[in-house]
Structure formats: structure tokens, C-alpha cells
Amino acid sequence: MTSPSTASAVIALDPETLRSWFTEHRDLVVIDVRSAAEFESMHIRGSYNVPLPLLSEHTDELASRLGSRVVLVCHSGVRAEQARQRLNRSGIDGAFVLTGGAPGFAAAGGDVVKGKDRWDLERQVRLVAGSLVLVGLVGGKLVSPKIRTVAGVIGTGLTFSAASNTCAMGQALSVMPWNKAANEPTRESAILALPDATEVTDEVKAS
């Protein structure tokens, strides 16, 4: 586990520590910010699915329901860190980002729920970006040099993505039909379904 030197620093939590927290802390809340389809594919048992776009839209309301022990989960840590920064601005300054995401937790022997195998969003982004770069290079050689600009545009986009810690391509892919689940989380089914932090705290004190 690492401690932040600034408010923007990632607060990482290793899977082994999270495993112990499930038995040691009743006030623990694990929020998976991946898409509903990714969540259905595999998620940590007991975690709540609040996809990043939904969290971003209702950050303040979500923050009001959370206590001091919050762990955020995605695949690579990028979306979880974006969620952590948003919650930080809404007063949740101690949320953790799980190292390795749900796959890392499973590899460490953690209890997960598995469903239909799907590609995670980060893998889809790599496939699309790589394919477009390849098309640009091959098309530029065989069809027209102008097609090479496609590779340049993708490279610029990936550079901006890394610098800003955002991913426009990932956001676009997340709304594709194959990344949709039968029951998409909503404010009512996801955020309002979370246990109220005040009630949990009172139960812990009473026990």
C-alpha cells in the first residue's frame, strides 16, 4: 500500500490487503467502475457496479453515501483512478485503487463471480487503435499517402490520452452494443442501492 504525497497521487491497495479487509471491516465498500458488461464477465463478490460515466454524473450523490473505507476497481487502474479523483473533489479523500483490478484479485485467490467471457475495454482500445494505425500505414503505401494521416491522428490521440489520463476511444467503445449488459446500472439500481455510510457506521459502533 502506498501513501499519497499530494491529493492527485494514486492511493494503491494490493489484492491481499483487500482480501483481509473483507473479513476485518464491515464498513468496506468496493465499487467497480467498469462497464456493466465487463462487470458481468467477472467481478469481485460483494462489489457494486457503478460505471465511470454514471459515477461522473452523480459524483456528489454517491460521495454522500460513502464512508471512509472505499476501494475502486477497474481493469488497469486508469478508470478507477479517474473515479478516485472525482470522489476526492467531492470530499472522499481516502479512496483506494485496487492494484491489478478484478483479474489481479482473482489471481491472488480472492472470491470473484465469473460470467460470460468478454474483452475488457482497455483491450478493445488497443485492438481498434492498432488496427487503425496498421490501416493508415498500409493504405498510405498501397493507396494514397494521405491515408497515413490516420496513423498520425491515432498517435496524437493516444499521446493526449496518456497526458490527460482520459480515453475518448474507450468512452466511445463503451456505448457499443457488445459492451452493453441486459440490465444497465442506473442511479436508482446502482447508487441508491449502496448501503448508507451513516447506517453502517452506527451498526459497527453498536456491535
Average pLDDT over residues 24-43: 93
Domain residues of the chain, as ranges? 12-117+181-206, 121-174
Q: What is each CA distance from 39 to 31, 45, 105, 161, in whole angstroms?
A: 11, 11, 14, 23
Average pLDDT over residues 176-188: 79
Q: Is 31 within 8 Å of 73 (Cβ atoms)?
A: yes
Per-residue pLDDT reduced to its tens digit, 51-71:
999 999 999 999 999 998 999
How many Cα neighbours within 13 Å face the side chain of 86? Answer: 23
Decide yes or no: CATH 3.40.250.10 for domain 12-117+181-206: yes
Beta bridge partners of 72: 31, 97
Compute CA 185 distance to the chain's CA centroid, rounded to the nearest angstrom: 14
CA dihedral 171, 172, 177, 179 (to 10 degrees): -30
Average pLDDT over residues 100-123: 87
Question: What's the predicted TM-score (pTM) here?
Answer: 0.69
